[in-house]
């Protein structure tokens, strides 16, 4: 049996490595299961993978689940400021009733999770360090994710939307003052060449994005028991790898920025609480308003210790 | 079926379908649908409209209609004539002032238009009759404008560079800058050939025609001011922190429309509609090809053809320059038959990994690729510029236009060789303006 | 020789069906041109808001993208009527009039078939977005059935124009491929 996996990342990216690991292990299991990976959006564009996946026109993908927030508003909770504190907390999220609820919603779309995983990110700015909401007023900012845009706008920043590929030039020419994205994007887009200060995900971090390896449910159920077992075993192994790599990425990105002479700032506990208070008034509020059972889901997420 | 064999089958089918007179975009959709149906199952057709829509779902594509409007609005005024007349009055001492100023006007106009046919039409409308009146051979008159018009996609802004930038995720601002020096170099080569061939044809006397007083020289200057305004305005917006390159296009389009209406009094709704109609026609044509080529490349990728070809070329251990020559031949042949945008969309994703693995700079390659596409614009069977010239000067036979253009094709080959020897010609300017390549 | 300027605008003659279709395609063309102009203005407004007012730009990027997509799709029938879609008529030119006629009928029929398929699945996709209430994943959260509507409308109108083109060739009002006889 052949399965097709599409994702947007380059082959050097940890998310590709996770997919590759699963593909390799499944192949090694000798259960007549062959996963063909289409990296770098070579089959489908990043935001056009979830719909085909849920309709059974694509078998597997590695995807920031919040990309599908327009189809299932509940998914916006997987990129919500201040919800996840660090990678170990993220790992506990994955095993919680909260994630069960999210997986229940995915099941409605005929989608299941094979590998859970969160990646973190931070802030970088041209002329100053961003650690707390008071740093934001007047900055033209590109944020990754709807909930972050709402929170940063609430802090007084101006939100500019553009493709991630335009960010570097926009920073260089001064169209943008600040940017918020994942640690790996900061490095791969060489943002360190254009900023003076970087606030990576550290002891406290705001930006965590859930980016699981997903599969079409009907397709999974159509596999033989042996094939399913092999797939699940490979996924479990890949998930442990994913968590370790995710932890390494933040420190590695900070190192790259430091080497390039960029100042490294840190968020304190007080900063984190200030952001969270702001998020309550902005992102959380908007989320609860537009999502059926929004408050209940939010409570579930906060219940994770 | 072996993906490479399947790839060959797709190639043959595509050529047959496209030669049948079907429009390129619909032809690509037909081939895609046929192969998806045959090798990927019935349900894969379901995705086609979604993928087509998705390919267009890109802000950078906005700049294509915008840069076309820039050219079309200015082309519909007498601005093109002003431009080349000004150049001629100032270049009167230069031998062959008229053909030199026509080519210069093409280059300047190219800096305002993203498309080649528009550049060709704008300068050719006045330039060709004027050159023939003064005794330049028909071939030189038609050929120089056909070739000069191709500068439209090399000198920024450029629709093909935008498409290349989108499909390879390279910086459009950087690509634009990379085209400047090669564009000027090509213009110089064109000028050199025009002068030489006019002199050789025994019409050397026309080379020294025209004599203008200083009063006449200065009197025309205000009339080129709007051009300078537009070019400087667009450059400032693009590199001065006002807007991203794709947004700049809108500023340029608005500026050009305003200048056309206010300075050149393009008031009548009928004339304005002509501008909009022509821009809409060309934009929709290009964007539909982009969308259809997107579906086509989905089909290639889905059937694993793209990957198999890239892998196969990777296994060939050939000298990188032989590889480059082979790629050029491939692009050239593709360019003969397909419009530039279609070639870039289908070839760039396959070629780029090969290019970078072989140690070539993707920005430099964009310039080489664009010159290849320029050759296609003035060679049969789909040489858009040839037909534009044919429309402007119907009494010059296509054969004369074609033979007149051939030497300019040779100039383009020379330019490619020079670029291979001195890649800095393309990469130096972007590095200076935007910092070292990343 | 081939190219897009060798052929003239599709003839409609005095045939009422052809004239109605031509009129519809022309109106579609006006809509497309208008959408492009609006996209220009909105982009300039966005730059102004960001640069001069230093404020957030929430809806402009998406609006502009969807306008340009809609302009492209809705503009298809008009460009088809103007014969503005580039083609390579290498085979038609080398054929005798009778064979050329047959080839034109075949190519137009296949085009119609594939466009009908695009129309069908495009409508289905639009219906999914509408019935499930899909929105874009941005703060603005535009309801996606609105931009997706341009898919069935664009391909539907293109289908209509292609059908008119085939009909015109069949009843002899228009020349196959718009080519004049040699
Ligand atoms: Na240009
Ligand atoms: Na050609």
Q: What whole-number distance in Å separates Cα of residue B182 and Cα of residue A203?
A: 51
Beta bridge partners of B115: none
Contacts of residue C79 in chain B, CB cutoff 8 Å? 280-281, 284-285, 288
* pLDDT, mean of residues A180-186: 91
State how far residue A42 is from chain C, nearest Cα, in angstroms: 22
Using only C-alpha atoms, chain B has a radius of gyration, in whole angstroms, of: 22
Asked if C139 and A150 come within 8 Å (Cβ–Cβ), the reply is yes
Whether the Cβ atoms of residue C3 and residue C90 lie closer than 8 Å to each other:
no
Nearest-ligand number for the alpha carbon of B373: 2
Give the three-class secondary structure for A31: coil
Contacts of residue B50 in chain A, CB cutoff 8 Å? 48, 51-52
The token pair at A27 is 């192949």
Give the three-class secondary structure for C157: helix
Measured between CB atoms, does C28 come within 8 Å of chain B? no
CB-defined contacts B:C, below 8 A: 189
What is the spatial order of strands in the sheet that A213-216 belongs to? A34-38, A2-7, A60-62, A213-216, A111-115
The pLDDT score that the predictor gives to residue B215 is 85
Q: Would you state the torsion angle of the CA atoms of residues C150, C156, C158, C162, taken in this order, to the nearest 10 degrees?
A: 170
* pLDDT, mean of residues A237-256: 94
**For the purposes of burial, counting CB atoms within 10 Å of the CB of B347, is it exposed (0-12), middle (13-18) or buried (19 or more)?**
buried
The pLDDT score that the predictor gives to residue C6 is 40
Distances (CA, A) of B195 to A213, B95, B145, B210, B335: 64, 8, 14, 16, 28
The pLDDT score that the predictor gives to residue B214 is 83
The pLDDT score that the predictor gives to residue B80 is 74
Q: How far is the CA of B380 from the centre of ligand 2 (A)?
A: 5
pLDDT in tens, A79-137: 999 999 899 999 999 999 999 999 999 999 999 999 999 999 999 999 999 999 999 99
pLDDT tens digits in sequence order for chain B, 438 residues long? 899 999 999 999 998 998 898 998 999 999 999 999 999 888 999 999 999 999 999 888 888 898 888 888 877 888 777 887 788 788 776 777 788 888 888 898 888 888 888 888 888 888 888 888 888 888 888 999 999 999 989 998 888 898 898 888 888 888 999 999 999 999 999 999 888 887 877 766 665 556 778 888 888 888 788 878 888 888 888 778 788 877 888 988 998 888 888 888 878 888 889 889 989 998 999 899 989 988 998 999 999 988 888 788 778 778 888 888 988 888 888 888 888 888 888 888 788 888 888 889 999 999 999 999 999 888 877 778 888 888 888 888 888 888 889 999 999 999 999 999 999 999 999 888 877 765
Residues in Cβ contact with B402 at an 8 Å cutoff, skipping those fewer than 6 apart: B379, B380, B383, B386
Distances (CA, A) of B66 to B33, B265, B279, C28, C86: 31, 21, 9, 19, 20
Q: How far is the CA of A268 from the centre of ligand 2 (A)?
A: 63
Measured between CB atoms, does A2 come within 8 Å of chain B? no
Of B46, B244, B301, the CB nearest to A43: B301
Measured between CB atoms, does B435 come within 8 Å of chain A? yes
The pLDDT score that the predictor gives to residue C181 is 57
DSSP C87: B
Give the three-class secondary structure for A124: strand
Q: How far is the CA of B185 from the centre of ligand 1 (A)?
A: 15
The pLDDT score that the predictor gives to residue B90 is 81
Q: How far is the CA of B383 from the centre of ligand 1 (A)?
A: 18
The pLDDT score that the predictor gives to residue B256 is 87
pLDDT in tens, C30-62: 999 999 999 999 999 999 998 899 999 989 999
DSSP string, B60-121: GGGHHHHHHHHHHHHHTTTHHHHHHHHHHHHTTTSTTHHHHHHHHHHHHHHTT-S-HHHHHH
Q: Interface pTM (ipTM) of the complex?
A: 0.94
The token pair at A153 is 């706008």
The pLDDT score that the predictor gives to residue B210 is 62
Asked if C137 and A150 come within 8 Å (Cβ–Cβ), the reply is no
Asked if B173 and A169 come within 8 Å (Cβ–Cβ), the reply is yes
pLDDT at C1 over 60: no
Q: Which chains touch C (3 or more CB pairs under 8 A)?
A: A, B
Listed in sequence order, the DSSP H helices in chain A are 14-28, 50-54, 87-94, 97-108, 146-154, 164-173, 183-188, 217-222, 225-259, 269-279, 285-290, 294-302
pLDDT at A189 over 80: yes
Give the three-class secondary structure for A265: coil
Q: What whole-number distance in Å separates Cα of residue A245 and Cα of residue A252?
A: 10
State how far residue A33 is from chain C, nearest Cα, in angstroms: 31
Count of CA atoms in the C-beta half-sphere (13 A) of A218:
10
Q: How far is the CA of B76 from the centre of ligand 1 (A)?
A: 17
Asked if A44 and B51 come within 8 Å (Cβ–Cβ), the reply is yes
Consecutive H or E run containing B281: helix B269-302
- Return residues 301-340 of B near A (CB < 8 Å): 301-302, 304, 306-307
Q: What whole-number distance in Å separates Cα of residue B401 and Cα of residue B416?
A: 23
Q: How confident is the model at residue C7 (pLDDT cuts 50, 70, 90)?
A: very low
Nearest-ligand number for the alpha carbon of B183: 1
pLDDT at C3 over 60: no
Whether the Cβ atoms of residue B45 and residue C121 lie closer than 8 Å to each other:
yes
Asked if B22 and C33 come within 8 Å (Cβ–Cβ), the reply is no
Distances (CA, A) of A10 to A17, A19, A37, A40, A65: 10, 12, 11, 5, 18
Q: How confident is the model at residue C182 (pLDDT cuts 50, 70, 90)?
A: very low
Provide the whole-model pTM. Answer: 0.93
Tokens 């192969």 correspond to what residue? B35
pLDDT in tens, A262-287: 999 999 999 999 999 999 999 999 99
CB-defined contacts A:B, below 8 A: 65
Give the three-class secondary structure for A156: coil
The pLDDT score that the predictor gives to residue C2 is 34
What's the mean per-residue pLDDT of chain A?
94
C68: left (phi over 0), alpha (psi -120 to 50) or beta: alpha
Domain-wise residue ranges, chain B: 3-434
DSSP string, B225-265: HHHHHHHHHHHHHHHTTS--HHHHHHHHHHHHHHHHHHTS-
The pLDDT score that the predictor gives to residue B203 is 66
Of A51, A150, A160, the CB nearest to C50: A160
Of B23, B33, B53, the CB nearest to C86: B23
Q: How far is the CA of B336 from the centre of ligand 2 (A)?
A: 3
């Amino acid at each position: 049996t052949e399965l097709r996996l599409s994702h947007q990342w380059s082959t050097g990216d940890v998310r590709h490595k996770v997919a590759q690991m699963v593909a390799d292990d499944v192949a090694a299991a000798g259960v007549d299961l062959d996963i063909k990976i289409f990296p770098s959006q070579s089959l489908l564009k990043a935001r056009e993978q979830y719909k085909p996946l849920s309709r059974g026109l694509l078998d597997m993908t590695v995807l920031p689940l919040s990309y599908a927030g327009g189809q299932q508003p509940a998914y916006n909770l997987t990129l919500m400021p201040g919800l996840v504190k660090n990678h170990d907390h993220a790992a506990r999220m994955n095993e919680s009733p909260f994630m069960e609820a999210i997986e229940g919603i995915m099941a409605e779309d005929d989608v299941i999770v094979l590998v859970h995983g969160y990646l973190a990110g931070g802030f970088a700015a041209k002329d100053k360090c961003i650690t707390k909401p008071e740093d934001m007023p007047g900055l033209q900012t590109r944020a990754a994710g709807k909930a972050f845009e709402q929170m940063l706008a609430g802090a007084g920043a101006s939100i500019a939307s553009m493709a991630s590929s335009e960010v570097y030039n926009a920073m260089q020419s001064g169209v943008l003052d600040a940017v918020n994205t994942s640690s790996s994007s900061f490095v791969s887009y060489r943002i360190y060449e254009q900023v003076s200060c970087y606030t990576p995900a550290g002891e406290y971090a705001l930006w965590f994005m859930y980016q699981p390896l997903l599969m079409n449910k009907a397709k999974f159920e159509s596999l033989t028991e042996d094939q399913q077992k092999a797939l699940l075993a490979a996924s479990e192994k890949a998930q442990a790898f994913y968590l370790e790599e995710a932890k390494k990425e933040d420190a590695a990105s900070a190192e790259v920025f430091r080497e390039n002479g960029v100042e490294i700032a840190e968020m304190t506990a007080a900063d984190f609480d200030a952001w969270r208070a702001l998020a309550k008034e902005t992102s959380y509020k908007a989320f609860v308003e537009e999502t059926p059972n929004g408050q209940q889901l939010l409570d579930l997420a906060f219940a994770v210790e | 079926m072996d993906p490479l064999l399947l790839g060959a089958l797709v190639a043959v089918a595509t050529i047959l379908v496209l030669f049948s007179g079907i429009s390129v975009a619909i032809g690509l959709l037909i081939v895609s649908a046929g192969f998806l149906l045959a090798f990927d199952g019935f349900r894969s057709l379901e995705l086609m409209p979604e993928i087509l829509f998705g390919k267009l779902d890109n802000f950078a594509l906005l700049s294509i209609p915008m840069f076309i409007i820039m050219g079309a609005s200015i082309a519909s005024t007498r601005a093109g004539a002003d431009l080349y007349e000004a150049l001629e009055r100032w270049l009167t001492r230069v031998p062959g002032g008229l053909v030199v100023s026509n080519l210069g006007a093409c280059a300047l106009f190219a800096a305002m238009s993203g498309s080649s046919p528009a550049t060709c039409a704008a300068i050719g409308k006045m330039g060709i009759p004027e050159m023939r009146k003064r005794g330049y051979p028909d071939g030189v008159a038609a050929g120089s404008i056909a070739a000069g018009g191709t500068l439209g996609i090399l000198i920024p802004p450029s629709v093909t560079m935008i498409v290349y930038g989108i499909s390879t995720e390279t910086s459009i601002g950087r690509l634009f800058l990379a085209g400047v020096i090669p564009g000027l170099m090509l213009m110089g080569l064109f000028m050199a050939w025009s002068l030489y061939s006019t002199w050789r044809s025994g019409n050397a006397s026309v080379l020294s025609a025209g004599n203008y007083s200083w009063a006449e020289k200065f009197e025309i200057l205000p009339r080129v001011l709007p051009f300078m305004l537009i070019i400087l305005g667009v450059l400032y917006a693009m590199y001065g922190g006002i807007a991203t390159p794709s947004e700049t296009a809108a500023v340029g389009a608005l500026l050009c429309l305003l200048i056309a209406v206010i300075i050149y009094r393009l008031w009548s709704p009928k004339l304005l509609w002509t501008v909009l109609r022509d821009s809409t026609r060309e934009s929709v044509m290009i964007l539909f090809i982009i969308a259809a080529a997107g579906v086509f490349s989905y089909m290639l990728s889905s059937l694993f053809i793209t990957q198999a070809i890239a892998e196969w070329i990777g296994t060939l251990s050939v000298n990188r320059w032989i590889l480059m020559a082979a790629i050029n031949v491939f692009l050239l042949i593709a360019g003969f038959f397909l419009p530039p945008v279609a070639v870039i969309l289908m070839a760039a994703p396959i070629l780029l990994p090969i290019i970078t693995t072989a140690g070539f700079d993707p920005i430099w390659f964009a310039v080489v690729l664009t010159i290849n596409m320029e050759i296609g614009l003035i060679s049969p069977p789909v040489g858009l510029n040839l037909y534009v010239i044919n429309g402007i000067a119907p009494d010059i036979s296509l054969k004369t236009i074609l033979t007149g253009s051939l030497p300019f094709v040779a100039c383009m080959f020379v330019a490619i060789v020079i670029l291979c020897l001195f890649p800095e010609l393309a990469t130096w300017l972007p590095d200076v303006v935007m910092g070292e390549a990343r | 020789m081939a190219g897009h300027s060798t052929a003239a605008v599709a003839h409609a003659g005095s045939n009422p069906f052809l004239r109605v279709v031509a009129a519809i395609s022309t109106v579609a063309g006006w809509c497309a041109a208008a959408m492009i102009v609006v996209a220009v203005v909105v982009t300039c407004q966005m730059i102004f808001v960001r640069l001069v007012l230093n404020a957030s730009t929430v809806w402009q990027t998406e609006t502009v993208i969807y306008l340009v997509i809609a302009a492209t799709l809705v503009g298809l029938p008009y460009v088809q009527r103007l014969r503005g879609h580039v083609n390579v008529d290498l085979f038609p030119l080398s054929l005798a009039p009778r064979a050329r006629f047959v080839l034109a009928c075949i190519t137009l029929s296949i085009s119609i078939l594939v466009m009908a398929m695009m129309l069908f699945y495009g409508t289905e996709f639009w219906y999914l977005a509408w019935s499930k209430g899909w929105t874009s994943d941005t703060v603005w959260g535009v309801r996606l059935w609105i931009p997706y509507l341009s898919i069935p409308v664009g391909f539907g109108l293109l289908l209509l124009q292609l059908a008119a083109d085939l009909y015109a060739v069949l009843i002899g009002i228009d020349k196959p491929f718009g080519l004049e006889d040699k």
